[in-house]
Chains A and B, each alone.
Chain A
Amino acid sequence: MSREMYIDPHAHMISRTTDDYEAMAAAGVVAVIEPAFWVGQPRTFVGTYVDYLSSIVGWERFRAGQFGIRHYCTIGLNSKEANNEELAEGVMEWLPRFALKEGVVAIGEIGYDEQTPLEDRYFRAQIALAVELDLPVMVHTPHRDKKRGTSRSMDVCEEMGIDPSKVVIDHNNEETVAEVLQRGFWAGFSIYPSTKMGNRRMVELLKLYGGERIIVDSACDWGISDSLGVPKTARLALESGIAEETVRAVCYGNALAAYGQSGQIAEADWLDPPAIDQRTLFEGNSVLRGGREPVIEAPGAARRGKLEIE
């Protein structure tokens, strides 16, 4: 059997440790997409937001490369901080500068939190920016009043004239998926304990809907979450009898197709990296180079079992 490769198309790596990167690489994750989002508490200066965006296009990309993982990001003003109008106006001025940086695969994650007028205003403004720059969009659907918020997010996308094939509607569940797929959008599922999806439920959805336009991610961040959400879901799905090509589509191929529309992510980035990148940015994935079978091991497991620290 060929070695599995996975993409985690929603992972806030800025909040994760090197143990996570090591475990993800060992489990076969070759690429991650880091959406710009809030960081667990509100930013109160435009400058801190700008430095955050600079971190995810620069430092985090470099850090991931040291573990053989390719790092991409999305740029945007999230729905929570859109409610701080002064901050939002300032951030909006900087966004076009960041949207064309290397490895920026979409505008996102944008959308609704409490579905306020300010959230609506900046959601629309950012879709307009995506249309102008011909970039895909990653939509964060709200946790509360989710079903209506999801429908409304798609209404706005249609009104703003962006093609549904360029929009990933993320954080879906059993209640939202049918409409998202029916309207032609990509449907993301975040395998995130307690609040979003569990992977057993995900497997049931794959049985029901197949793999077309469905994308699995971990959404791992600063909360209790699992950076191995994608490889673990893939394994559970295979063990549950889901077809290999379906698993490959939802844990790798579909994310590549959706975000590949940016022109900023391609399989060659990790299978055949340019020489200049190999010298500067990317150490090469040992799973790909060494031919080892991916192993799913809890982050830090190897370290915890070892008494000596050299």
Chain B
Amino acid sequence: MTTAIGLLGDWVLARAGAERGWVEASLAELAAGAPERALHIFLGLAPRRLGKGDLALDAAALAAAEAARPGWRPGGWSLDGAARVLGLLSFRGSRPFAETFKDLRRTADVAEMIALYRGLPLYPGPEALDFEVGEGLRSNLRPVFEAIAHDNPWPRDHFDQHRWNHMVLKALFVDSPLAPIIGLDERANPELARILIDYAEERWAAGRPVTPELWRPVKPFAALPEIRAGLERARASGHMEELPA
């Protein structure tokens, strides 16, 4: 089985065209203990040299990604984003990974921030990245939030219940779909179901609709008295036709 970094290398090099030599030389330099400035330059030049096209992976590549890191779904990745994650993973710096990551995130442009967060499932020492991930979730830039929340197994694997629940709630707040959240069913919990019913009632009071997706993490708890009562109110007020079993 090819490792995640091996797959990224294959995909980027296959699409690098005339820049193949530059990518190979840069990665070798980064792996051989180059100063952090070399990493900054590689990350800055990646979209300029490789373009910002879609990685456009086929089914076999996506299956290989799943095998290398369960839950890793690079289907929506761009070429420059993949190259940036590859560069970061290849880099052997003098500081711990999390410190380098923090520094990169502080100065990142939007596309860089998306790439940095999409790469989360591939990084070493996930516990040290907790604060940085929280900063990304709090971002007002929806695509940055989605780089963490969507098609990314990191929240399922590492978030405590409080952070998980607030990620789902924020997704609803910013009109971001729930379906691409990995672990939406596995991590459903009664507290989240209660929060979502409260949220739906707030929306209805303001005359605003809610997405039907909201019910997916609620339904498994339909038998609990507090949740049942909320669902009954939804039906009584005409917001729900049929109660879930």
Contacts and interface: CB of A to CB of B under 8 A. Distances in A.
A98 interface: yes
B141 A276 contact: no
A100 B44 contact: yes
B162 interface: no
Interface string A94-114: 101110111100000000000
Contacts of A101: 44, 107, 109, 112
Interface residues of A, number: 24
B140 A59 contact: yes
B41 interface: yes
B90 interface: no
B240 interface: no
Contacts of B45: 100
A interface: dominant SS = helix
B interface: dominant SS = helix
A98 B52 CA distance: 19
Contact of B106 (A50, A59, A275, A276): A50
A223 interface: no
Interface in A272-304: 274-277, 279-281
A276 B48 contact: no
A198 interface: no
Given A274-B53, A276-B78, A279-B143, A58 B48 contact: no
A61 interface: yes
B113 interface: yes
A276 B44 CA distance: 18
B110 A50 contact: no
A62 interface: yes
B108 interface: yes
Interface string B55-91: 0000000000000000000001010000000000000
B114 interface: yes
B141 A58 contact: yes
Given A276-B54, A280-B143, A97 B48 contact: no
B52 A103 contact: no
B40 interface: yes
Contacts of A97: 40, 107
B99 to A, nearest CB: 15
A117 interface: no
B47 interface: yes
Contacts of B37: 96
Given A102-B47, A274-B53, A276-B53, A62 B110 contact: yes
B32 interface: no
A280 B145 CA distance: 11
B107 A61 contact: no
B243 interface: no
Interface in B3-37: 37
Interface in A257-275: 263, 274-275
A274 B52 contact: yes
B205 to A, nearest CB: 14
A84 interface: no
B111 interface: yes
Interface string A39-58: 00000000000100110011
B52 A58 contact: no
A156 B109 CA distance: 31
B193 to A, nearest CB: 29
A205 B107 CA distance: 41
Contacts of A58: 108-110, 113, 141
A276 B108 contact: no
Contacts of A96: 37, 40
The list of the 6 closest CB pairs from A to B, nearest first, reads A100-B44, A280-B143, A101-B109, A57-B109, A102-B109, A62-B141
Most chain B CB within 10 A, of A61, A263, A280, is at A280
A50 B41 CA distance: 18
Nearest to B45: A100
A59 B53 contact: no
